[in-house]
Amino acid sequence: MRRVRVFGHPDAASLSYYGLHALQHRGEESCGICTSNEGEFHYHRGMGLVKEVFDRDRLVSLTGTNAIGHVRYSTAGASKLANAQPLVFKYREGDLAVCTNGNLVNEPIIRRELEESGSIFQTTSDTEVIAHLIARSPKPLVEAVREAFSRLVGGFAFLIMTKDKLIAACDPNGLRPMVMGRLGNAYIFSSETCAFETIGAEYVRDVQPGELLVLDKDGLHEDRYASENNQRAVCAMEYIYFARPDSDIGTINLHTSRKRMGRQLAVESFVDADIVTGVPDSSISAAIGYAEQTGIPYELGLIKNKYTGRTFIQPSQELREKGVKMKLSAVRKVVEGKRVVMIDDSIVRGTTSLRIVNLLREAGALEVHVRITSPPFANPCYYGIDTPDRRDLIASSKTVEEIRKAINADSLYFLSDQGLIDSVGGHDGEKNRGLCLGCFTNDYPTQVEFEHAKATSCSCD
């Protein structure tokens, strides 16, 4: 779930629209925009892509200088319109619009407490929990938000809009990224910097873990709700797979770090071959790196049909299976008679990898050597990357050799933990150089086991 928010621009809705377009890769199930016109809220949400849900007339109706927008794929909560964001609520001081990226690990506990004390929920989205916490507090808004956030455990980035304020905050470990930019006098927040490029905004800085940024008519107020001393743990899958290659997290460009992953894979697991190819789109940068390191030519052995969705974010296994056949083709003239190194970002269930290897074989590849830019994905994610139950993660129960056989590859290698950490090249002196590696190491930066709490499930691979 990803957001764009604009504060203080006469055409806030259009900026949100174009920003959400740039973030479409992060969620294709539903989207929405809410604007505030001198305290009067206008909003629209729908199922589907940004270009399908919004047209010119709809955007014109969303008047106002402040806006928040969202594209969603379901991690917690079902894929249905009621859970599309932003969610808009009435509270004692007027309207409140909320959108989030990520997942609250202790949401079931807080929800139950709230229900037992009289709250009635309209959605199954954990975003509604934060709205209830804020609405029930007798304190002024910013204090209520600070108090509410201090109860949350998980990986999240929140945006809250009221009639006269916009509040942005990240979880205490910085698991989910959020960046701040400027366009003239307006402030823009986004999950990724690629949205800034699209709308012509200038990157200012990343929102820091535990920060609470408040925008109002007097400008930006920088505050915190959590200590600066928490372990920084940015989701490693943002670097490996999720973010667009033209985005930066901190000073690190995603294309560049993925190329380093490819180079590192070549150092750790060279194999003699005729061509290197990457599974589009997220593994192309790494394939280029592998080719540069080995001298084996990079070729477009696999082509993506751009008019189908990402399999990772489609919500059912049946849709995923159809999606793979629709979206990828092997280029026979390129791979026929060749020994192919195929670079991919992860193996989750193994079903997608098997199909892609078989696509290459059916197109005449003599050998298919699979190289993965992440360590084995053996544990679930609790922080908003949708993963199956542990038992459905192929690496949780099979050795690398058993996975190799299951995906029909001639050889298989996963990037080492340290190779990944070094390739990203994050913060010196911090654990894992500031990365979360929980789904690889089973060592999470927060408490993850709560009564009634469990990992999100389940639409990847």
Residues that bind ligand SF4 (CB under 6 A): 155, 175, 235-237, 381, 383, 385, 436-439
Nearest approach, Cβ of residue 296 and ligand SF4 (Å):
29
For 39, residues 6+ apart whose C-beta sits below 8 A from its C-beta are 94, 95, 163, 164
Nearest approach, Cβ of residue 443 and ligand SF4 (Å):
10
Q: In terms of CB distance, is 236 or 412 closer to ligand SF4?
A: 236
Nearest approach, Cβ of residue 345 and ligand SF4 (Å):
12
Q: In terms of CB distance, is 270 or 450 closer to ligand SF4?
A: 450
Q: In terms of CB distance, is 198 or 374 closer to ligand SF4?
A: 374
The rounded distance, in Å, linking the Cα atoms of 70 and 281 is: 22
Q: Are 209 and 230 spatial neighbours (Cβ–Cβ below 8 Å)?
A: yes
Of all residues in the chain, what percent are helix, strand and coil, respectively (each to 5)?
A: 35, 25, 40
Nearest approach, Cβ of residue 437 and ligand SF4 (Å):
6
Can you spell out the DSSP letters for 137-166? --S-HHHHHHHHHTT--EEEEEEEE-SS-E
Q: In terms of CB distance, is 254 or 273 closer to ligand SF4?
A: 254
Q: At which residue do the structure tokens 């609520």 appear?
A: 89
Q: In terms of CB distance, is 237 or 275 closer to ligand SF4?
A: 237
Q: In terms of CB distance, is 45 or 260 closer to ligand SF4?
A: 260
Can you spell out the DSSP letters for 419-448? HHHHHHT--TTSGGGGEE-HHHHS--SS--
Q: In terms of CB distance, is 99 or 439 closer to ligand SF4?
A: 439
Nearest approach, Cβ of residue 395 and ligand SF4 (Å):
12
Angle at 10 between CA 179 and CA 14, to 5 degrees: 65
Nearest approach, Cβ of residue 294 and ligand SF4 (Å):
27
Q: In terms of CB distance, is 54 or 242 closer to ligand SF4?
A: 242
Q: Are 314 and 459 spatial neighbours (Cβ–Cβ below 8 Å)?
A: yes
Nearest approach, Cβ of residue 439 and ligand SF4 (Å):
3
Q: In terms of CB distance, is 50 or 372 closer to ligand SF4?
A: 372
Strand order in the sheet with 30-37: 40-47, 30-37, 66-72, 2-7, 186-190, 179-183, 202-206
189, containing H or E segment: strand 186-190
Q: At which residue do the structure tokens 């600070």 appear?
A: 146
Burial class of 47 by CB neighbour count within 10 A (0 to 12, 13 to 18, 19+):
middle
Give the three-class secondary structure for 247. coil
Nearest approach, Cβ of residue 237 and ligand SF4 (Å):
4
Task: At 172, list the tokens.
Answer: 């205490």
* β pairing state of 328-330 and 302-304: antiparallel
Task: At 280, list the tokens.
Answer: 């589009």
The rounded distance, in Å, linking the Cα atoms of 191 and 247 is: 10
The type of residue at 179 is V
Nearest approach, Cβ of residue 253 and ligand SF4 (Å):
19
C-alpha closest to that of 457 among 75, 169, 131: 75
Q: In terms of CB distance, is 31 or 237 closer to ligand SF4?
A: 237
**Cβ neighbours, 10 Å, residue 204:** 15
Q: In terms of CB distance, is 286 or 330 closer to ligand SF4?
A: 286
Q: What are phi and psi of 296, to 5 degrees?
A: -75, 130
Q: In terms of CB distance, is 16 or 106 closer to ligand SF4?
A: 106
Q: What are phi and psi of 125, to 5 degrees?
A: -80, 140
The rounded distance, in Å, linking the Cα atoms of 271 and 269 is: 6
